[in-house]
Structure 1
């Protein structure tokens, strides 16, 4: 392992805005994010597979009255976002180093007000359907940890994943779709996200891909 990587792991071990296995906070955080980590009762927004945290940190800058948590399994990625948040004095940002499959172990029922699924791996092969972050298996997990009136945002450049997800939602009685577009930046909602993009979103846009977007909730 390179020296830089070791140094980053050491830093996130010290960063108080990173919750990860091995820290005492990791074992106690479920159900206590607002009280223990943020020390307020503001709405909590979670981004799955946040990568370097560009979107999580960007949202925190423009919406100081909400708390933001980025979730990713890669410590090197989380280091970037957590370090920037600390340097800018953003108290409403935290990062969880964990597998998304185990998300219910870190968030209690009804604890999340808003959830973002931003540019997940499309998992195009049929045998990988269960690993798609919009598959029925994951939807059941989200349903448990979301507040009753919580909203979920899904963004992707992948047409196949978008069509799979939209068809799935249309055939479920427990899901209501609030917004849906095949081209977000040509839609009436293009300014809703404050122009904040993930690294992948910028890359896909530069290649001429349209961004598909669905905002939904659970009945």
Structure 2
């Protein structure tokens, strides 16, 4: 392990906005994010596969009356978002270091108001479908954690994953599709995101890739 990573991991261990194994709160946070982490009752918004946390922190800046949690397994990436939030005094942002398949261990029923799935690995091989973050396995996991009427946002540059996800959610009786577009930055929805881009979204956009976006909710 490089010295830089060692320093970052050490800072994650003491930064209060990083929830990870080894901290007492890691074992008790489920159902208690508002009281234990944020000390308020504001809505909780979760970003999956948050990477360096650009989007999580950006949303935190724009919406001080909501709480934002970025989820990723890579401690060195989470460190960047954590450090940025700390340096800017953004107290409504936190990061959870865990595998996304373990998400239900950290959020109680109806604890999440909105969920963002931003540029996940597309896992294009047919045999890898269950690993896609919009597969039935994951949708069924998210459903009880999201409050009634809560919104799920999905953004990707991958056409195959977008088409798969859109077809899947349209086929489910327990999901209502609110909006979708195959060219987000040419759509009327782009201003709702305040120009906040992840590192990978900027990379894809700069290469001319069209960003796809899907917005839906669970209704039953």
The normalised TM-score by structure 2 is: 0.99
Instruction: Give, in whole Å, the separation in 2 of the partners of 1:12 and 1:147.
Output: 30
Is 1:168 the counterpart of 2:168? The answer is: yes
* Segments of 4+ moved more than 6 angstroms: none
- Deviation of 1:85 after TM superposition, in Å, equals 0.4
C-alpha displacement of 1:169: 1.0
Residue 27 of structure 1 corresponds to 27
Please report how far the alpha carbon of residue 144 of structure 1 lies from its aligned counterpart in structure 2 after TM superposition.
1.1
Alignment match, 1:187 = 187
Deviations 1:149-179 (A, max 9, x none): 1000000000000000111111110110111
Quote how far apart the aligned CAs of 1:19 are: 0.3
**Counterparts in 2 of 1:1-219, with a 5 A limit?**
1-219=1-219
* TM-score when normalising by structure 1: 0.99
- Which sections of structure 2, spanning at least 5 residues, go unmatched? none
The whole-number CA distance in structure 1 between the counterparts of 2:106 and 2:34 is 13
Q: Deviations over 1:68-115 (max 9, x none)?
A: 000000000000000110010001000000000000001111100000
Deviation at 1:2, TM superposition (A): 1.1
**Alignment size in residue pairs:** 219
Aligned-partner SS, 1:192: helix
- Structure 1 unaligned residues grouped into runs of 5+: none
Partners of 1:158 and 1:75 in 2: how far apart?
26
Does the residue aligned with 1:134 lie in a helix, a strand or coil?
Answer: coil
Task: Give the CA deviation at 1:4.
Answer: 1.0
